[in-house]
Structure 1
Amino acid sequence: MPDGRYRDDITPQEIQGINKPASALDKQVSGNHYKDCGIQPIEYIHANGLSYFQGNVVKYVTRYKDKAGKADLLKAIHYLELMIELEYSDK
């Protein structure tokens, strides 16, 4: 090559990445419905200390267009109904 490098030469950036452990946030076990998000739902949920119910609402609303559509929105509604029932029921 004209710059003195070979086509298969490794760059310093690639060398640094070799020993860097992969982040769990960089992989998704099933599907790719969160890959294009600016921030993954789990990052938002964790950063804001959301409850299980709140986290599921965020998760299902975030992914509905790319995964299960109306079914995901119905799941989000179900978690909202559970929250209302558990938080505001007459005791």
Structure 2
Amino acid sequence: MSALDTQIGGDHYKSMPIQPIEVMREVLTKEEYIGFLKGNIIKYSMRAGKKEGASDDADKAAHYRQFLAEAKGEPTNGLLDLPVIDMGAGRD
């Protein structure tokens, strides 16, 4: 299953004729697209459990890891099950 077949937290992107991430994949260079994906993985990983109402952040980080694996031609089985590292652990 492609990462495009899944959406975390609703269906607002999947209901569009073309998803914004598909446009980004086409208009950005491969390096820019991979950088965008990595930035979102970092953002959602660091935000997981910290933003009120953002209980899906760990799943979103995993979803972007799946997009990244697909962009790099790597296997994606089980990526949504990977744990997200709590980047705020030990900080107060």
What is the TM-score with the length of structure 1 in the denominator? 0.39
* Higher relative contact order (Cα pairs below 8 Å, separated by 6+ residues): 2
Greater C-alpha radius of gyration = 1
What is the TM-score with the length of structure 2 in the denominator? 0.39
